[in-house]
Amino acid sequence: MVWPEILAVVFPTPWHFLVACLALLVAEMVYVLLGFGAGLISVGTLAFLLPEVRDVIVLILLVNLPAELYVVWASRQHIRWRGVAVLSVGIAVGIPIGAWMLTFSEPTLLLGLLGAVLVLVGTTFLILKNETRASIPAWSSPFVGLTSGLLAGLFGTGGPPVVLHYRLQGLAKTAFRGNLMALFLLMNLTRFPSYCAMGLVTTPRVIASAAVLPAVLVGAVLGHHIHLALSETIFRRWVNIGLVILGLLLLVRSAG
């Protein structure tokens, strides 16, 4: 099989391409189903598969945008835009602070603490099957956003605080997914021009993203149909399991 040179820049062989397609299909299915988890699957898989980590980061950014745009549009009536804006401001402030902190040290204690909280909350919600929500004061949103931004700047892991924030509110599945996707969409739309300005969005990476897009779209469609079919109870159970998995991974990373 003749492998195009332009694709070989990102995917060294057809096997790399096929495995990447499978990983992205599963990642996008989970992302559209729950509203989070794409990075958990795709970065973790592709970082081991592809030789250049910058290819992975740009590829995931580009393929996530269509799914985020679709879900946000479909869920627009359920999105609390004011709350999303407040969280976004906190994230925008926290990212440069986290990046600055990274130049001096890497405070893994913060990552470990967040991991422990996620495991505790996710496990508690799994045990208390009839729980619906917790009382979240409005003034906490900027701090949640700030924490998310700090973690994004320090470790590139900004999602867990906002996932926990929306889960504690006990939102219905469509609102939960829509609010998360709106927040991630704003973050990625901010990252995109920055990546372009830094020369990270190259022709081979754009073509590689277009090549895997069919697999991504199949995953997104599957995830959306599963999302519609799930009951609120089962959806929340899956989200709780996702919180526990996220927490465990953060604990492993902080220990490493």
**pLDDT tens digits along 143-162:** 998 988 888 777 667 788 88
Compute the average pLDDT of residues 102-111: 70
For residue 179, pLDDT over 90 is answered with yes
Percent of the chain with pLDDT over 90: 32
Chain-centroid distance of CA 115 in Å reads 16
10 pLDDT exceeds 70? yes
Could you read off the pLDDT of 19-42 as tens digits, one per residue?
Answer: 999 999 999 999 999 998 887 788
C-alpha to C-alpha distance for 173 and 2, rounded to whole angstroms:
45
Per-residue model confidence (pLDDT) at position 214: 95
Q: Which is higher by pLDDT, 250 or 59?
A: 59
200, exposed or middle or buried, with CB in 10 Å at 0-12, 13-18, 19+?
middle
